[in-house]
Structure formats: C-alpha cells, structure tokens
Amino acid sequence: MIFPVMLKNVFSNMQNQATNQQQNYTRKPEGSISIDYMPKKEKKGNADKLGDFVDYEEVK
C-alpha cells in the first residue's frame, strides 16, 4: 500500500524537476548567445620561425 504512494511521489518530483529545467531553458531572451564550451585553439607558427621583419620606405 505504501509503495504506490511513494512511487507516485517520486514520479511527480521527477516531472516537476523536468518542468523547471525546461522553463529555465526557455527563459533566455531572444537573440542572446550562450557558449557552454569553447575549445582552446592551437597557435599556428611561432614569431621566431616567421623570419626577420625589415622596415622599408616607399621611394617614388
């Protein structure tokens, strides 16, 4: 007799949690951007490997 009541309470709690999560998800204002994960980018090349920088003057 107690088991069905406990089972009903567990399922109602799960349903309430799912509803709350869905409401929190849909409350974001339109046009907002949210980034959860952004992988680190590896740097391509090294400044030492690019060569020497030479200043120049334009001659006309």
Asked whether residue 58 is assigned to any structural domain, the reply reads no
Please count the CA atoms within 13 angstroms of the CA of 13 that sit on its side-chain side: 6
Please state, in angstroms and rounded to a whole number, the distance separating the CA atoms of residues 6 and 14. Answer: 12
Q: What is the residue range of 2's domain?
A: 1-25
Please count the CA atoms within 13 angstroms of the CA of 44 that sit on its side-chain side: 0
Rg (the chain; Cα; Å): 30
Q: How many domains does the chain have?
A: 1
- Which pTM does this prediction carry? 0.38
Asked whether residue 11 is assigned to any structural domain, the reply reads yes
Residue 13's pLDDT is what? Answer: 92
Question: What DSSP element (H or E) covers 26?
Answer: helix 2-26
Please state, in angstroms and rounded to a whole number, the distance separating the CA atoms of residues 21 and 24. Answer: 5
Q: What is the pLDDT of residues 32-42, one digit of tens each?
A: 777 778 788 77
Give the tokens for residue 26. Answer: 């849909």
Asked whether residue 2 is assigned to any structural domain, the reply reads yes
% of the chain surpassing 70 pLDDT: 73
